[in-house]
Structure 1
């Protein structure tokens, strides 16, 4: 039902009239120093693809690369973090595979289920939709500041909490609404993923730059030039299709900042906005929810940045 054609978050295979299987895989190198936290973040990131498709993760397999020179207890903490996050998701961890590698790597292959009529796709945005983002952005910039030993403990903690948070509650809060499109915000940054959604839907997205929720201190670090290399790659890929107006450069860095285990971006009719926000608030997410813009008829550019 969903393959590689639309650059969606996961593949979907129809099993019966009532059941479709979601399949995804994701893994990466450490983004934080603490092994347990790294395991949580990597697992949450992989599980997110299932939530972004409107489904529930059910079965997960570990994917591990680990150097012989490191203490095996470190690997044990990574796997414990991942296992705890899978359990929190209500899924079952059934094994996995490991290889010797020069650099630690961890993630999951995840299978989930969704009703064929209730799939979220990353295209289908309609003029009049509002855009709801369920996590604040800036993790790439914060992590860069951490590596440079310039980040505060508060900023480092916020980033870790956001990255390790499941998108489970956000998906559950909005799954009963007529969601026209959905994706999770990861390596392409907020604007990169907005571009995918807008171009696939043949619409324009107006992004209210000052309404986007940013991690505390992320703007300060961006102004200092603590920006990951991926930001510039993301920007180069699509900036020609963005009407940036008079937006300050550091905001572009924030909006193109590659995220690890970012939030869900929903496009749904504006008439449901108040109810949707109330339901998200009732779920008591550990992250900030923001209404970041709206969808319009296609203009000259796919993305318009507004104050």
Structure 2
């Protein structure tokens, strides 16, 4: 079977955060329906609409071009990435719809493999694939529209962290750099497979564990990179200190970044976030990894100080490479300080 011949995709293909903010800030506010708890003006991971006092639905949409050549693996990763926004809100997946752009003149077996990969992840999530929409396009793109449910009183918002909360990251960083290097044959198969395994892993398991603990805020790390999504968590009224040497990272990503095998998306993230970050004796490679767009990245959880170690232990027992990567502080001159600690 042919390959997809990807030119660059995943969450590196997203529009930059600065461009999106510029557009969204100019759209009229929607205040006509009080049941819309979370909308596009909240900069959160998904929309939330209240149906009753104890039930709301969570709605999200995500799709992108391939970042790997294997169509089945691409389908798995794209689906895992789309499903992740439901988990970032503390929700439970219920239904999904395929979104497909595919050249009709190409081998349709490739499309079948993409959709098979996506279906398997929807089933693993406990959801139902209910249909979808496709168009004939010159390039391949795939993803899902996903609907889940959540208790309105137990939503994970991304900007409601509290002073002294510990920040826990559940997956390693660096997959954008690794996939970029793989496209030009500059990384080994073992490293690429480790990154693929991470991208295919559902955030379902981290989310389910987290619900036993006092979680104050949550987001998933995707196209805006670790620092871009972290800045949204600070919401102009909090600051944080990040411990660079405790962040889980694919080691090969460091050497690749040192060789300037970095992404355009990472540079867009640096341009958007850079003025809000202070680096204290941090290597160039680590800076790039913190700006690197992640495809199907981990959850970043703000958990109460007293429960952080217990949550971390349970996440690690589940086989996740989780780590306490920082803590939230009162607002200071800069939103994010990155130190070696």
What TM-score comes out, normalization by structure 1 length? 0.97
Query: Does structure 1 residue 255 correspond to structure 2 residue 290?
Result: yes
Partner of 2:191: 155
Partner of 1:220: 255
- Which runs of structure 1 show a deviation greater than 6 angstroms over 4 or more consecutive aligned residues? none
- For residues 198 and 2 of structure 1, the distance between their equivalents in structure 2, rounded to whole angstroms, comes to 17
Partner of 1:293: 326
Partner of 2:335: 302
Q: 1:46 aligns with which of 82, 93, 102?
A: 82
Aligned length: 304
Partner of 1:58: 94
Q: 1:231 aligns with which of 245, 258, 266?
A: 266
- For residues 172 and 92 of structure 1, the distance between their equivalents in structure 2, rounded to whole angstroms, comes to 19
Q: CA deviation at 1:126?
A: 1.2
Unaligned runs of at least 5 residues, structure 1: none
Indicate if the aligned counterparts of 1:44 and 1:166 stay in contact, CA closer than 8 A. yes
Tell me the secondary structure at the aligned position of residue 316 of structure 2: helix
Query: Does structure 1 residue 272 correspond to structure 2 residue 307?
Result: yes
Unaligned runs of at least 5 residues, structure 2: 1-36
Tell me the secondary structure at the aligned position of residue 217 of structure 1: helix
Tell me the secondary structure at the aligned position of residue 44 of structure 1: helix
- For residues 105 and 235 of structure 1, the distance between their equivalents in structure 2, rounded to whole angstroms, comes to 26
Partner of 1:105: 141
- For residues 234 and 25 of structure 1, the distance between their equivalents in structure 2, rounded to whole angstroms, comes to 21
Over residues 167-216 of structure 1, what are the superposed CA-to-partner deviations in whole Å (9 max), with x where a residue is unaligned?
0000000112221110000000001111111135x111111111100013
Q: 2:66 aligns with which of 14, 22, 30?
A: 30
- For residues 295 and 272 of structure 2, the distance between their equivalents in structure 1, rounded to whole angstroms, comes to 19
- For residues 259 and 242 of structure 2, the distance between their equivalents in structure 1, rounded to whole angstroms, comes to 24
- For residues 107 and 37 of structure 1, the distance between their equivalents in structure 2, rounded to whole angstroms, comes to 13
Indicate if the aligned counterparts of 2:216 and 2:303 stay in contact, CA closer than 8 A. yes
**Equivalence map 1:119-130=2 (5 Å):** 119-130=155-166
Partner of 2:279: 244
Q: CA deviation at 1:148?
A: 1.4
Q: CA deviation at 1:284?
A: 3.0
Q: 1:208 aligns with which of 243, 249, 269?
A: 243
Indicate if the aligned counterparts of 1:174 and 1:279 stay in contact, CA closer than 8 A. no
Q: CA deviation at 1:18?
A: 1.2
